[in-house]
A = this chain, B = another copy of it.
Amino acid sequence: MEIIIDGGTIVTISSKGIIKDGAIVIENGRITDIGKSHELKQKHPRYEKINAKGKVVIPGLINTHQHAAMSLLRGYADDFPLKQWLENWIWPLEKHMTGHDIYVGALLTAIESIMGGTTTVNTMYHYMNEYNEAKAFAKAGIRGIIGHVCFSWRKKEDIKALRTLAKNWHNKANGLIRTSVDPHASYTVDPEYMKKLRDLTTELNEEYGSPTKPIIWHMHVAETSDEIEKIRQTFKVSFEGGVVEYLDSLDVLGRDLIAAHCVTLTPKDIKILKEREVKVSHNPISNLKLASGISPVPSLMKAGVTVALGTDSPCSNNKADMFEVVKTTALLHKGVNQDPSLMPAEQVLRMATIEGARAMLWDHEIGSIAIGKDADLAIVDFKKPHLYPLHNEVSHLVYSAEASDVETVLIKGKIVMENREIKTIDIHQVLEMAEKTKESLLERLAKRSS
């Protein structure tokens, strides 16, 4: 299909900067031309036209840390101390989740993400065979990396799941779906298993991956302050230093790792993250809600580490809203460092787009509006009171725009939402399924407890 998005202000997140009264030409899912409206629309008079007058076109936002299926538990338990929250609420209910539940939860998150201008999601959950997050993402038409989360207590099951996941889903759904290997964290995956997962990743990449379409790693790293103590106690190691330094001692760090959170880092940890080219996924809303601490993002960026953004799960956020994460990132580090010039708007918008693509090793195809890249785009309606008057598009995108201002979304050139209507799936059916699935999940929990 050939499309021309015409008449909008294009925020390219590239050296082309901002193009007013611009146009984007899309052919076979890719951006083939970018320029001024009056030039491009004469060149392509018969292309399907999307009128973007008075609107702002941005690269689709990239969410680098999710557990998409957990939307079913949104608002189920909040405001509890972490241990109590996990052990008394989240884990007991999660135990009852079936593959179909996971599918429904991920579908709900996929739709919510698209409706908020997010076109790519990196999600970590339990992979199940028939129904799973990959199937849900493919159905919704959203781009994503689907991981299977690994724990020491289920090695055999994990390895089987990782093999099936890579085989069935890596580089599938017209290239929109990739897969990852997701050690849960340094304190739940023992040193031997961690190394074994590295070997397995190499093996899986040889069979199913390629240098430009790799199977990557996704892990929780240094989320809370007690991790190194847990590692010492659980694995009987006598390590002194930070969690990143510990992981480096196992020789498992690399440019293909998305390290979620990175809240409690030593200066040496930051140095290692840079040296090993590890990518950090910053999740400020989740870190605040769970009171994990505040990631030293300005220091990470100063050290030259790639920092991208994530929502984390709908239980610790409780949304899949990247606009909210963008604004919170811009605000939080100014506030806690008492410096209003930190994290300026443009920098944070880059973190939600091109830096996210870099983190996912996908920046040759997504993350900015550039000729040759896939057309993953969000068209934002600026005709709203909170976006008036207009002094500066980037300021408005970061500080004033909200998820619901996104009007139309394209992923790989396919219109997945138009005028806020999801085109890939019946949204009312998904909402109904989500409510029913939650009810049945709670019933199973009640039965088991009684």
A321: interface (CB < 8 Å): yes
Q: How many residues of A contact B (CB 8 A)?
A: 73
Partner of A331, one of B289, B385, B400: B289
- Contacts A403-B402, A404-B402; is A288 near B437 (CB within 8 Å)? no
Q: How far is the CB of A322 from chain B (nearest CB, A)?
A: 12
Q: Are A385 and B288 in contact (CB under 8 A)?
A: no
A446: interface (CB < 8 Å): no
| Chain B residue nearest in CB terms to A348 | B79
Residues of B within 8 Å of A403, CB to CB, are 386, 402
Q: Interface digits, A358-385 against B, CB 8 Å rule (1 contact, 0 not)?
A: 0000000000000000000000000101
A211: interface (CB < 8 Å): no
Residues of B within 8 Å of A350, CB to CB, are none
By Cβ-Cβ distance, the 6 closest A-B pairs, closest first, are: A288-B335, A75-B395, A389-B438, A288-B331, A79-B344, A404-B404
What CA separation (Å) do A111 and B386 show in the bound complex? 9
Residues of B within 8 Å of A80, CB to CB, are 340-341
Q: Which among A115, A290, A294, A391 has the greatest number of chain B C-beta atoms within 10 A?
A: A391
- Contacts A111-B385, A288-B331, A399-B317; is A344 near B434 (CB within 8 Å)? no
Q: Interface digits, A331-352 against B, CB 8 Å rule (1 contact, 0 not)?
A: 1101111111111110000000
A319: interface (CB < 8 Å): yes
A153: interface (CB < 8 Å): no
Q: Are A335 and B291 in contact (CB under 8 A)?
A: yes
A239: interface (CB < 8 Å): no
Q: Are B400 and A340 in contact (CB under 8 A)?
A: no
| Chain B residue nearest in CB terms to A404 | B404
Q: Are A400 and B74 in contact (CB under 8 A)?
A: yes
With A79-B334, A79-B344 known, 12 other A-B pairs at CB within 8 A are: A74-B388, A75-B391, A75-B396, A75-B399, A112-B386, A289-B399, A291-B342, A292-B335, A293-B338, A318-B400, A324-B324, A389-B434
Q: Are B334 and A291 in contact (CB under 8 A)?
A: yes
| Chain B residue nearest in CB terms to A321 | B386
A108: interface (CB < 8 Å): yes
Partner of A85, one of B292, B336, B340: B340
| Chain B residue nearest in CB terms to A115 | B385
Residues of B within 8 Å of A71, CB to CB, are 388-389
* Chain A positions 276-315 with a Cβ under 8 Å from a chain B Cβ: 285, 287-294
What CA separation (Å) do A124 and B328 show in the bound complex? 26
Q: Interface digits, A3-39 against B, CB 8 Å rule (1 contact, 0 not)?
A: 0000000000000000000000000000000000000
- Contacts A345-B79, A402-B403; is A431 near B388 (CB within 8 Å)? yes
Partner of A108, one of B292, B388, B395: B388
Residues of B within 8 Å of A334, CB to CB, are 79, 288-291
What CA separation (Å) do A400 and B313 show in the bound complex? 12
Q: Are B340 and A291 in contact (CB under 8 A)?
A: yes
What CA separation (Å) do A431 and B80 show in the bound complex? 43
What CA separation (Å) do A400 and B316 show in the bound complex? 11
| Chain B residue nearest in CB terms to A79 | B344
What CA separation (Å) do A338 and B108 show in the bound complex? 31
Q: Interface digits, A261-286 against B, CB 8 Å rule (1 contact, 0 not)?
A: 00000000000000000000000010
What CA separation (Å) do A336 and B292 show in the bound complex? 9
A81: interface (CB < 8 Å): yes
Q: Are B386 and A320 in contact (CB under 8 A)?
A: yes
Partner of A402, one of B294, B388, B390, B402: B402
What CA separation (Å) do A80 and B345 show in the bound complex? 11
A72: interface (CB < 8 Å): yes
A392: interface (CB < 8 Å): yes
A82: interface (CB < 8 Å): yes
| Chain B residue nearest in CB terms to A347 | B79
Q: How far is the CB of A439 from chain B (nearest CB, A)?
A: 8
A-B contact pairs, 8 of them (CB 8 A): A74-B391, A79-B344, A81-B341, A108-B385, A115-B386, A287-B335, A288-B332, A294-B336
Partner of A435, one of B79, B388, B427, B439: B388
| Chain B residue nearest in CB terms to A340 | B291
